[in-house]
Every structure is written in structure tokens, then in C-alpha cells.
């Protein structure tokens, strides 16, 4: 584990932002931190970044209790992000890299690599004021990763990116993961979660309400439903199955407990010519809404 969050509590004067949060973030994985607005994601991220301190609880970073020296091993791209408008791109990145503990020469050579990589070679002397929004986002991304952190925290990284830059960012995130960096993603965009994350945790009302490996979580929320496509006439009833819907040579079925997919298939093919039999994996969008609604009802 690169990061363990143990029983972390954070209270603000008027509300409880984090209520005994436990999280285990494995190394070299992409971890999705999900939750509706105001659930406590930003509070947790600020604690991991040591911007604020928890009221109680413990955070273990790379085997040691989190302390000031770990600041340089974390990269943070906040949701609301900006740059010094009057400063030149190169000077600005150099400053931010040095604040993360890099030496000047090291920072210059690493930054040059990134400038070549993201195809922005001639930006070094441009003032940030002259950059488009997309260009500023590239600059901010470089500032977050240039010091090669062990843990990269990205808060809604894709917000405001155009599709081309978003794709570039996605590729870079995956490449960074390949190099062994752990990425903590805070988002409520479920398509990103499905595409990129290995593990997830869902926070609602200051608590972790769901956590685990992405595939395992999805399995947990499987309804044992299948989608079929066929030629022929499907009977109105099938043994051990509930037909949820039928729609022009396709149908959705829910298998009864104890019925295997093989048993179901052998039943179906005795009636129709089966073209496709596919398990319906719940989308994270559905899981998210379901879990949030359940916990809200429970509250």
C-alpha cells in the first residue's frame, strides 16, 4: 500500500466532514475516489496533501506516518486550479518544481522533456496570460507531475479539457501509472472511473459507503441479469428465469438463484436460435446512484 487512511475524522465548526474514514490505496494503481459534491472528498484530499490536519486518525504514506517530508513525493492537481498570470510558463514551472524540492538543473532538464513530450517546445518564454485555457491546463499538469511523485492526486482532472487534450491526458496518466506511480482520482464522472480506475471508494455523507476493486464491486452489484439476441419466438415463460423485457428479437432475463448460465443457455436454445448471450454488468453510474440513494435513505 502506498497510502493507508485509518479512522480519519475531520470536524468543521458546523459539520462533520470526515467520519472515521478508512482507505487502502494500493501501489501503482489508479484509485477512484467517488462521491457526490460535498461528501468530503476535498477534505480528505487536503488532509493527504497536509494542507489541513485531521482531528484524529492516522495516515500512513509508503510505510511511514505522513509527515512534512512526504510533501515532495506527492503531486496535486486541485479541481480549482490556476497559475501566476504574469509569469512566464517556463519560470513558473521551474518555480513550482523547485518548491517540490527539485534542484534547478534537474527541474530544467525534466521540464524540457515534458515540453517536447506535450509538443509545447516554444512556450517557455510565453506569459501565462497569453495561453489558451487548454494550454494552461497542460502547464498545470506538468507542474503536478514533473517532480515524479509516488502519489499523484488528481481532482476532477478532465473538467474543462477538450476531447483531444482529455485523450492526451488519459494517455499520460496511464503512462505514469506504468512507471509505478499511484494515482488518486477524485471525480464524479463515472465513464472515467470505468475506463481508468482499478479500485474505487465511494464517499457519501462523510463516510466510506463502498470500496474495493472495480471488477469486484461491479460483481457485487450484479443483478444476475443477461441480455440475449436471438432468431425465433421466445416463449412467454422460461424455467428458472424471469423475462424482464422483450424487444424485437432481443430480451433481458434475470436468472433465478441456483441457475447457471449454461443451464439457462441450454433452455433458451431449445426454443430459439441464440445469437448473443451477455451478462449485464452494472454501470458505475447505476451503482453510484443506487448506493448514494440507499445511504441517503438510511441516514
Q: Which residues bind other proteins (CB under 8 A)?
A: 13, 46, 49-55, 68-69, 71-72, 74, 76-78, 80-87, 95-96, 98-101, 140, 143-144
Closer residue to other proteins in complex, CB, 52/225 = 52
For other proteins, the closer CB: 83 or 209: 83
Q: How far is the CB of 264 from other proteins (least distance, A)?
A: 53
* Helices vs strands, H then E, count in the chain: 9, 14
Nearer to other proteins, 77 or 228 (CB): 77
CB distance 276 to 229 below 8 Å: yes
CB of 68 or CB of 231, closer to other proteins: 68
With 0-12 CB in 10 A as exposed, 13-18 as middle and 19+ as buried, what is 106? middle
In the bound complex, what is the minimum distance in angstroms from residue 242's beta carbon to other proteins?
A: 50
CB of 143 to other proteins, least distance (A): 7
Q: Do the beta carbons of residue 98 and residue 92 sit within 8 Å?
A: no
CB of 191 to other proteins, least distance (A): 26
Length of the chain measured in residues: 299
Q: Shortest gap between Cβ of 79 and other proteins (angstroms)?
A: 9
Residues 176, 286: Cα–Cα separation, whole Å:
29
Rounded to a whole number of angstroms, the CA Rg of the chain reads: 24
Cβ atoms of residues 206 and 16 within 8 Å: yes
Residue 106 or residue 286: which is nearer to other proteins going by CB? 106
Residue whose CB is less far from other proteins, 25 or 93: 93
Dmax over Cα atoms in the chain, in whole Å? 74
| Least Cβ distance, residue 84 to other proteins (angstroms) | 6
Distances (CA, A) of 161 to 88, 138, 230: 22, 9, 42
Residues 82 and 36: beta-carbon distance below 8 Å: no
Amino acid at each position: 500500500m502506498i497510502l493507508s487512511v485509518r479512522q480519519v475524522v475531520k470536524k468543521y465548526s458546523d459539520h462533520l466532514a470526515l467520519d472515521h474514514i478508512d482507505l487502502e490505496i494500493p501501489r501503482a494503481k489508479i484509485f477512484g475516489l467517488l462521491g457526490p459534491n460535498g461528501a468530503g472528498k476535498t477534505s480528505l484530499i487536503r488532509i493527504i496533501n497536509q494542507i489541513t490536519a485531521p482531528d484524529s486518525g492516522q495516515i500512513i504514506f509508503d510505510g511511514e506516518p505522513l509527515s512534512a517530508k512526504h510533501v515532495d513525493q506527492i503531486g496535486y492537481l486541485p479541481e480549482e486550479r490556476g497559475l501566476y498570470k504574469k509569469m512566464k510558463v517556463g519560470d513558473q514551472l521551474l518555480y513550482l518544481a523547485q518548491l517540490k524540492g527539485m534542484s534547478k538543473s534537474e527541474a530544467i532538464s525534466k521540464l524540457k522533456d515534458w515540453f517536447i513530450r506535450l509538443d509545447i517546445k516554444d512556450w517557455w518564454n510565453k506569459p501565462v496570460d497569453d495561453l489558451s485555457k487548454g494550454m494552461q491546463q497542460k502547464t498545470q499538469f506538468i507542474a503536478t507531475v514533473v517532480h515524479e511523485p509516488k502519489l499523484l492526486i488528481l481532482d476532477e482532472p478532465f473538467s474543462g479539457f477538450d476531447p483531444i487534450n482529455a485523450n492526451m491526458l488519459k494517455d499520460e496518466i496511464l503512462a505514469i501509472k506504468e512507471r509505478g506511480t499511484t494515482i488518486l482520482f477524485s471525480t464524479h464522472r463515472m465513464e472515467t472511473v470505468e475506463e481508468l480506475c482499478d479500485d474505487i471508494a465511494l464517499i457519501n455523507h462523510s463516510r466510506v459507503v463502498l470500496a474495493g476493486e472495480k471488477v469486484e464491486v461491479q460483481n457485487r452489484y450484479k443483478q444476475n441479469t443477461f441480455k440475449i439476441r436471438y432468431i425465433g419466438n421466445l416463449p412467454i415463460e422460461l424455467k428458472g428465469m424471469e423475462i424482464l423485457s422483450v424487444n424485437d428479437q432481443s430480451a433481458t432475463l434475470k436468472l433465478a438463484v441456483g441457475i447457471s448460465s449454461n443451464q439457462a443457455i441450454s433452455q433458451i436454445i431449445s426454443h430459439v436460435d441464440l445469437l448473443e448471450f451477455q451478462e449485464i454488468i452494472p454501470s458505475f453510474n447505476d451503482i453510484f446512484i443506487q448506493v448514494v440513494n440507499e445511504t441517503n435513505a438510511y441516514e
